Structure 1
């Protein structure tokens, strides 16, 4: 143990604690870790920043753009239609089709995009066949995760592990090298969910309307501002209604004309305000000076049509700019042309009061009141995903054919070894832009920059472990403790440690931490590095035990009305099954 090794391990321990506790965002922790390595002299600036030029980072950025181009072309719309037809016939057929479709798509398209595409369809199918979303959304997410381990481009983790292997002098992973074992994992996962898992899925019935589902139970009340009201001549955002009582103003009528509601709207005498208000606030409002209550009654979904609005559910997406911020900090209503958030489902609770001050988290579901113009603005916002009343992208035949041809070309050129995957992906992106399949500004927007910065940062962990000798030290300890039982036992330990860690920490961070140690361990034992690399790659993406283990699990948590325990109950047996299976088939497909 040298001083350099001690510093490197200390920084990595700090990073692990921050990753698990989520006190800072994942990308922030990754960059902080990289900076600490450089400041302490463990890595030079060139070594620390090398992660941003790593082929893995560039490839992942390119794949975000390619997935977006496929999504925008409308090429996948027919899949949703087919799933709807199957779902109306049988729940069991729907479950099988859902996992097969999400698994197949995720092998070539970003799994988050696949879940985003299919989630609104799945929720609608559930309503049509009277099956709770909780019976369908977990199979959707699990299918996407299982399919992602079938190819190199199926998940960013596979690309990252390949990049780490290449930087350590090992042959990079090939496009379909994952496929044989990946198919076994996919079929095993589908069989488990069909025979066992579906019986453990919760059956949480969803009310017929969103206002009941979110427990609004509020009154729709009309208020008239009297000439002597202190709110006359005051912007809506600064009025007592919003500032002190935190009341949601749904509509303002002035001289029989309905006005668009926005924060800076100046209130005038005799304005009629339609507000959504709870019982306690209603009592306080009756005591407010300068206002007159015209009517009050229970709120219903149908009331939204009175002023050309509807209720929408929207998820705060993983790595969203909105994470950790409140609606007030985001200036949500002004930015979205007056769309109003009426309630927030945050983990296991539904929040109604002081919504403007609630700190948002990935997976939170917002109940939003919006008119068609505002809804279109929301659909274009990449930080949230509408999951109800969502319009699909229309077929664009001028784009579908070139998008599919270019995508197939990317896969084949990389699979045949004609060019490296990074070059294939970059050339594909250039062709997509040149042929007008995606605009340059759309390409920039398609890249999840938080993931890119996270990858650039976490790659420094592997570099520090390798440079300081910490990876070799940890490998020696592992060999000393488990090596006596042979390389098969060590391989099984790496798979187990990886899937346990990735359920509580970023899957990419887990891979960046364990892949270098796995490579060095294999080299120290004098066996093939390939099975150890594959064990880390597979296990880092097979995360079923927690809602925060993988982005797709986070996305379905709120809409499925799941509890943390649901993932433990359904996901833990599946993870253990795949661990035992991996211990047998990885050495078979990748001999030690």
Structure 2
């Protein structure tokens, strides 16, 4: 048995390393875990594939479709437009967080934040307030609301499914709500204070200013009459170039060996990074051009062209693909002039960089191209934008279907998974969504992740590894009482969630939580609640949760901004968990 346990630990150690380093996409890592466990005979074939038929996986897929129905109907946009009419800063922040938390309790919180994000930016700029004072609060509010119901996050559903697989009692739709509402209230109150004293003031971007997202990487062409010709790379930029840095020189599509020592030639392409205004100033002085090799993208030369920013959204079909692979310019009829990414250095031509969640593309485009881009769920057009008008009939149908799903599941007339499937069918039959729209709405990366990590929990239980870890934990903290053991599980989940996928961390800790409860002779439910809440609330880093990644890029934040605001909030939630979980979910 211990040999199987050590094999399981080896697989999990490799998975954690890959999750943290992001050397492979998270869904690929999850499927690699599944295949490894099956190849090592740590799980049976049926157990390895059980994630694909799990109620959690199917319910999450259905919830993506139901969320898309609300978005397509325009009801969420209408709520966002009403929110944007608030002029007082404190009232806007309070209403934004309460509305986001409410919506996130019933639809995917990433979708809710994606809808409200550009609206909040537009509202704050119009009211002459810095967006950076609001966007982290927006992300956190989506997470507050998600813990209030079983369907609020995929993590809650995953914990419920793993518990049922282990023979434990699952959770009802609103079983988290009494405690979750308290977490929302405390979280919102904290953020009302934190937004004033801890969130940074990064200034108010002008409505025509495209630089609020931070530093861009651009690729510029050296023309025949450019004064850059003959200068060495180290001497290229003028003294007043500001924050601009030259990264690479590409000649005949290949990087030169020494960009700082090489002399620039006509036809070279220069890769630069810096604030947009500084780049534009240097570009004009050196008479550098954007590459207009695809002349058919110019369109009507007399038509007004706009600068816009488009963010790669979670679940986007563009993730992992380069601009060249998807023929981005021709597909959307736009030109990409720059790319902004917080975490990774870019040293390749822009059309060869695989896109990632949170990447911001600076676009030169006519208004009609931007209008088409706004309807693509894989992209979020930031800044001032015209929202899709609310279609009242379709919006009411979508709201009615979602209300019906929640009511039927809450009353116990049907299991949640059945109610959600019926809801998806109703959306298609009522023509709120087309069949192809329903398929596109599902984030298949999340589905593959869920299906892949479920067997990890099974292997931990089958091999005895979970019981062994639980035994060590009980020996260390069991003598201090069940609350300390509970807080240990909560803290372990919190730490793992900050550095890897929240679903993966939940799948890893749930078997340990159940084994710990059994060793102490206690009900496992409070320990499962600790895992669900800790895995669904990631405040400390911008990479722990997708909504954090979205606002990290859009707000121009630094990594330390999340630490400064999120660390106290994590500590507050840890204390609250120790006080409230035993009250609402007794140990016996």
Structural mapping, 1:100-249, within 5 Å: 100-208=98-206, 209-211=208-210, 213=212, 244-246=267-269
Aligned position for 1:265: none
The one-character-per-residue Cα deviations of 1:163-182 (angstroms, maximum 9, x if unpaired) are 11111111221110010110
Structure 2 CA distance for aligned equivalents of residues 362 and 404 of structure 1:
29
Structure 1: state its 5+ residue gaps: 226-237, 249-275, 287-303
Structure 2 CA distance for aligned equivalents of residues 222 and 527 of structure 1:
71
Q: Is the 8 A contact 1:348 1:561 kept in 2?
A: no
Structure 2 CA distance for aligned equivalents of residues 418 and 7 of structure 1:
43
Aligned position for 1:536: 531
Q: Is the 8 A contact 1:219 1:279 kept in 2?
A: no
Q: Is the 8 A contact 2:304 2:366 kept in 1?
A: yes
Query: Which deviates more, 389-398 or 342-351?
Result: 342-351
3-state secondary structure, aligned to 2:363: strand
3-state secondary structure, aligned to 1:406: helix
Structure 1 CA distance for aligned equivalents of residues 459 and 217 of structure 2:
56
Q: Does 1:423 align with 2:446?
A: no
Query: Which deviates more, 532-541 or 480-489?
Result: 480-489
| TM-aligned CA distance change 1:219 to 1:468, over 3 Å | closer
Aligned position for 1:29: 29
Q: Does 1:549 align with 2:544?
A: yes
Structure 2: state its 5+ residue gaps: 226-251, 255-265, 272-278, 290-299
Aligned position for 2:12: 12
Structure 1 CA distance for aligned equivalents of residues 34 and 306 of structure 2:
46
Please report how far the alpha carbon of residue 197 of structure 1 lies from its aligned counterpart in structure 2 after TM superposition.
Answer: 4.4
| TM-aligned CA distance change 1:215 to 1:2, over 3 Å | closer
Q: Is the 8 A contact 1:27 1:451 kept in 2?
A: yes
| TM-aligned CA distance change 1:127 to 1:280, over 3 Å | closer
| RMSD of Structure 2 on Structure 1 (CA) | 3.0
Structure 2 CA distance for aligned equivalents of residues 385 and 217 of structure 1:
19
Please report how far the alpha carbon of residue 216 of structure 1 lies from its aligned counterpart in structure 2 after TM superposition.
Answer: 8.2
Structure 2 CA distance for aligned equivalents of residues 559 and 218 of structure 1:
18
The one-character-per-residue Cα deviations of 1:264-311 (angstroms, maximum 9, x if unpaired) are xxxxxxxxxxxx98757975879xxxxxxxxxxxxxxxxx99543211
Structural mapping, 1:373-452, within 5 Å: 373-452=368-447
Structure 2 CA distance for aligned equivalents of residues 14 and 349 of structure 1:
22
Query: Which deviates more, 487-496 or 305-314?
Result: 305-314
Please report how far the alpha carbon of residue 355 of structure 1 lies from its aligned counterpart in structure 2 after TM superposition.
Answer: 2.5
Structure 1 CA distance for aligned equivalents of residues 560 and 97 of structure 2:
22
Aligned position for 2:312: 316
Q: Is the 8 A contact 2:216 2:341 kept in 1?
A: no
| TM-aligned CA distance change 1:103 to 1:571, over 3 Å | same
Structure 2 CA distance for aligned equivalents of residues 219 and 164 of structure 1:
49
Q: Which runs of 4+ in 1 moved over 6 A?
A: 214-225, 348-353
Q: Does 1:84 align with 2:84?
A: yes
| TM-aligned CA distance change 1:212 to 1:190, over 3 Å | closer
Please report how far the alpha carbon of residue 96 of structure 1 lies from its aligned counterpart in structure 2 after TM superposition.
Answer: 0.8
3-state secondary structure, aligned to 1:327: coil
Please report how far the alpha carbon of residue 422 of structure 1 lies from its aligned counterpart in structure 2 after TM superposition.
Answer: 0.6
Q: Does 1:527 align with 2:526?
A: no
3-state secondary structure, aligned to 2:311: strand
Q: Does 1:39 align with 2:53?
A: no
Q: Which of 78, 91, 94 is 1:93 aligned to?
A: 91
The number of equivalent residue pairs is 533
- TM-score, normalised to structure 1's length? 0.84
3-state secondary structure, aligned to 2:555: coil
| TM-aligned CA distance change 1:521 to 1:176, over 3 Å | same
3-state secondary structure, aligned to 1:527: coil
Structure 2 CA distance for aligned equivalents of residues 277 and 401 of structure 1:
47
Q: Is the 8 A contact 1:246 1:353 kept in 2?
A: no
The one-character-per-residue Cα deviations of 1:310-342 (angstroms, maximum 9, x if unpaired) are 1111111234343344323443212323x1111
3-state secondary structure, aligned to 2:380: strand
- TM-score, normalised to structure 2's length? 0.85
| TM-aligned CA distance change 1:282 to 1:246, over 3 Å | farther
Please report how far the alpha carbon of residue 358 of structure 1 lies from its aligned counterpart in structure 2 after TM superposition.
Answer: 3.5
The one-character-per-residue Cα deviations of 1:410-447 (angstroms, maximum 9, x if unpaired) are 11111111111111111111111111121111000000
Aligned position for 1:59: 59
| TM-aligned CA distance change 1:521 to 1:395, over 3 Å | same
Structure 2 CA distance for aligned equivalents of residues 430 and 348 of structure 1:
40
